[in-house]
Amino acid sequence: MTIIKYWSLLKHLTSREIKARYKQSFLGFFWIVLNPFCQMLIMSFVFSHLLRISEIGVPYPIFIYAGLLPWIFFQNSLSSAMSNLVENASLIKKVYFPREILILSTLLAKMFDFFLSSTVFILLMIFFQVKITQYWPLFIIIFAIQFLFTYGLGLLLALGNLFYRDVQYLFNLVLTVWFYLTPVLYATEFFPERYRWIFKFNPMSVFINAYREVILSQGQINWGSLGIGLLLAVVVYLISYTIFKKMEGTFADVV
Amino acid sequence: MPEDNSVIDFQSVNKYFYLQHQKTLKELVDAAFRRRKTLERVHALKNVSFLVKKGETVGVIGNNGAGKSTLLTMIAGVSSPTSGKVDVKGRISPLIELGAGFHPELTGRENIYLNGVILGIKEGEIKNNIGNIIDFSELQLRFIDMPVKHYSSGMYMRLAFSVAVFTNPDILLVDEILAVGDVAFQHKCLNRMAEFKKQGVTIIFVSHSLATVENFCSRVIYLKQGVVAYDGEVQGGISLYKSDVHEI
């Protein structure tokens, strides 16, 4: 397995990214936590007046946060994956190692951020006295599927951006639209039943619903829907990985 | 491979790549309107075949754009041939562009580890050698735990080179790296390479400095517009190259 063989490279590239960031600024790790927290505060302030939040059953800030954290992981991972190969141009031209290690290390660094900002989420749950059920460890399974999906998409976008830099601008636009099509601020139940099927084909929607089911409800995961999410994640990963490896030998020529 | 002691084997290797003149959509649209070429196909290496045996020191010479760097990237395995076959045996260490894997915010010591694993050294091996690496770089100890962004370019370069020479390679790829740094350190690097040579390390040496090639190499490959124009003993190759240059 490539990952085992290149384990120490992966480890050092990941810690390079994590260390470099906290060394750059005075508040360091604090920013990682503060950023999603502030977004959550603003969103819950604005949208609590617009939506029928009484139907949700949990405090709105908690509800938003449970969707926002996985979304931020998704968004940040893809943004940095896209620029990653271009930023490491000098390495790509000189030294061989499997290039997916670069993308994977970025994702691992963002995963670190995700878990760090999740600590605030737990504090918030205690603050709002939301019951922490025995089902919450199931979120690891959902995260693993989301990680695979994000990784697959990241490989493809990184590759695309290497050839045309517009990919990152275009995709940032896509991300904005995607955000509103994903139930981060709202619940899918706000929509009439006949439109809800749309959310089944948006993997991010499937994941975020599943997170909320295990953390905020009583652990009743919609396994069928998560299964579709897993299937989509595997398909995206396999297709992206195959294309990525096929093109790998030309990276040094185009970068 | 035909012989047991061959470490690099190029069999009728061709390399095409596309020079992409436009990296953004705006440039692409612009070029389409003006009917400019959007992609230019370059035949960088033309039917290149050669065999390098273990312990040889090969100088690669030729004008800019003759395909020298392309050749190195293919030996390093970062670029694959369009047609033909490239076989390389053993651990390759490129003396890479000054600290390509360095991160300015990390300390010298952290960067040694980072660059080491990028070059494929085991973590334990770096740990065992870290004293030697720091000694070789001639950096004062008070600098080694400082972020490298505070280093002078000379210090930066010395650290990068020191990591690379401790990789214990079977094949060393040297691309014009000795052109930088002060004379004393250049001298030290050449000595270190001479040591490698004695240990039977295969060295591929790309340089514009014909004097260094003459002193250092046992064989010369002269590339001319992607074609191997000469492959053999040093003097012949250098004089052919010189006469070509004079003609222009």
Taking the CA of residue A141 and the nearest CA in chain B, the distance in Å comes to 31
**Are A126 and A34 a contacting pair, CB within 8 Å?**
no
In angstroms, the CA B76 to CA A95 distance is 7
By the CB < 8 Å criterion, does A8 face chain B? Answer: yes
In angstroms, the CA A100 to CA A96 distance is 11
Strand order in the sheet with B227-232: B92-95, B171-175, B202-206, B57-61, B219-224, B227-232
Name the architecture of domain B6-91+206-247: 3-Layer(aba) Sandwich (3.40)
In angstroms, the CA A60 to CA A41 distance is 10
Which SS3 state, helix, strand or coil, does residue B36 take?
coil
The answer to whether residue B179 scores a pLDDT higher than 60 is no
> Among all chains, which residue has been given the structure tokens 């993308």?
A103
Of A20, A94, A164, the CB nearest to B78: A94
Tell me the chain A residues in contact with residue B123 when contact means C-beta distances shorter than 8 Å: 8
In angstroms, the CA B135 to CA B178 distance is 19
In angstroms, the CA B113 to CA B133 distance is 11
The answer to whether residue B1 scores a pLDDT higher than 50 is no
**Any idea where the domains of chain B sit in the sequence?**
6-91+206-247, 102-166
pLDDT of residue B177: 60
Supply the ipTM of this predicted assembly: 0.81
To which H or E segment does residue B202 belong? strand B202-206
CA distances from A154 to A97, A147, A161 (A): 18, 10, 10
Which residues from B are below 8 Å from A when comparing CB atoms?
17-18, 20, 23-26, 28, 73, 76-80, 92, 94, 96-97, 100-101, 103, 105-106, 110, 113-114, 117-120, 122-123, 147
The answer to whether residue B181 scores a pLDDT higher than 70 is no
Of A9, A90, A96, the CB nearest to B77: A96
pLDDT, tens only, B8-58:
999 999 999 877 766 777 777 777 777 766 677 889 999 999 999 999 999
In angstroms, the CA A44 to CA A59 distance is 10
Q: Which of B141, B138, B133, B143 is nearest to B164 (CA)?
A: B133
Tell me the chain A residues in contact with residue B92 when contact means C-beta distances shorter than 8 Å: 96
Tell me the chain B residues in contact with residue A250 when contact means C-beta distances shorter than 8 Å: 17, 79-80
Residue ranges of chain A with pLDDT lower than 70?
A: 26, 51-55, 219
Judge: B20–A24 Cβ closer than 8 Å, yes or no: no
Taking the CA of residue B210 and the nearest CA in chain A, the distance in Å comes to 23
Tell how strand B202-206 and strand B171-175 pair up.
parallel
Tell me the chain B residues in contact with residue A165 when contact means C-beta distances shorter than 8 Å: 23-24
Of A19, A92, A165, the CB nearest to B78: A92
Handedness of CA B113, B119, B124, B128 (dihedral sign): negative
The mean per-residue pLDDT over the stretch B59-82 comes to 90
Q: Which of A197, A120, A6 is nearest to B118 (CA)?
A: A6
The answer to whether residue B159 scores a pLDDT higher than 90 is no
**Any idea where the domains of chain A sit in the sequence?**
2-254
Return the C-alpha torsion angle A50, A52, A57, A62, nearest 10.
-20
Count A/B contacts: CB-CB distance under 8 Å.
84
Tell me the chain B residues in contact with residue A95 when contact means C-beta distances shorter than 8 Å: 76, 78, 94, 96, 100-101, 118-120
Q: Which of B179, B238, B172 is nearest to B211 (CA)?
A: B238
Tell me the chain A residues in contact with residue B106 when contact means C-beta distances shorter than 8 Å: 16, 19-20, 23
Amino acid at B235: Q
In angstroms, the CA A94 to CA B246 distance is 32
Question: Which of the four pLDDT bands, split at 50, 70 and 90, describes residue B97?
Answer: low
Other C-beta atoms within 10 Å of A35: how many?
Answer: 14
Contact partners, residue B144, CB within 8 Å, separation at least 6: B107, B108, B109, B134
Which one of B22, B40, B79 would you mutate to disrupt binding with A, by most A Cβ within 10 Å of its Cβ? B79
Contact partners, residue B58, CB within 8 Å, separation at least 6: B52, B202, B203, B204, B205, B217, B218, B219, B220, B221
Helix, strand, coil percentages, rounded to 5, for chain A: 80, 0, 20
By the CB < 8 Å criterion, does A51 face chain B? Answer: no
Which residue does chain B place closest to A251, by CA atoms? B79
